[in-house]
Amino acid sequence: MDRSPWFASLVAVCLVAAAPMALANDPVKDLLDREVPALKDGTRMSMELVERTILEACARRKFTATVVEPGLITAHWESRGHSFDVSIPYNESTYSIRYKDSVRMDYNPAKNRIDDAYNEYVAGLNEHIEAGLDDALDRFKKALKPSKRVARINPRTAV
């Protein structure tokens, strides 16, 4: 009697049975104290500009975001019965994205593990926030620059 086909079948069944558990085996990755960019001289964007940038990034990533109070946004993501909530505390110099709650994301509070899709969505949100803050800083920098227009004299109308 050859045991190799039986053993291979047993291994295949175990791998298929373990596959759903692998999805919920990623640790929750809170993104803490991410830097809000500033000008070289240390001038920072206002809280309102940081808030608006985070809200725009949330909207682009299909999160429903709410300002709870100045310095704190909660964001909700949902798709096909799966959902999660994060809190986003922020100020002029830093922001964080922290896990708050989830539904059907296989969250295990004892091990602080969750479906890997959560970390992917949060990483994507963070990328959008970073890009938005960089763009906002560029606009902020341009707004602070004094206009260097030199008055030109039109030779036809000059007297």
Distance CA 45, CA 37 (A): 8
Would you say residue 18 has pLDDT above 70? no
Average pLDDT over residues 128-140: 97
What pLDDT was estimated at residue 145?
Answer: 82
Mean pLDDT of 9-20: 52
Percent residues over pLDDT 90 in the chain: 73
Domain positions in the chain: 21-143
**Higher model confidence: residue 58 or residue 23?**
58
What are the φ/ψ torsions at residue 88 (nearest 5 degrees)? -125, 90
Token pair for residue 106? Answer: 């296989």
Triad 116, 122, 128: Cα angle to 5°: 140
Checking if the pLDDT of 10 tops 90, the result is no
Spatial neighbors of 115 by CB under 8 A, at least 6 apart, are: 23, 24, 26, 82, 105, 106, 107
Strands (E), 56-128: 64-69, 72-79, 82-89, 94-103, 113-114
Specify whether domain 21-143 bears CATH 3.30.310.80. Answer: yes
The single-letter code of the amino acid at 158 is: A
For the chain, how far is it from start to end, CA to CA, in angstroms?
112
What's the confidence (pLDDT) of residue 22?
A: 46
Query: Rounded to two decimals, what is the model's pTM?
Result: 0.78
Q: pLDDT digit string (tens) for 66-89? A: 999 999 999 999 999 999 999 999
Which three-class secondary structure state does DSSP give residue 39? coil
Q: What is the pLDDT of residues 83-107, one digit of tens each?
A: 999 999 999 999 999 999 999 999 9
Residue 110 has what pLDDT?
Answer: 95
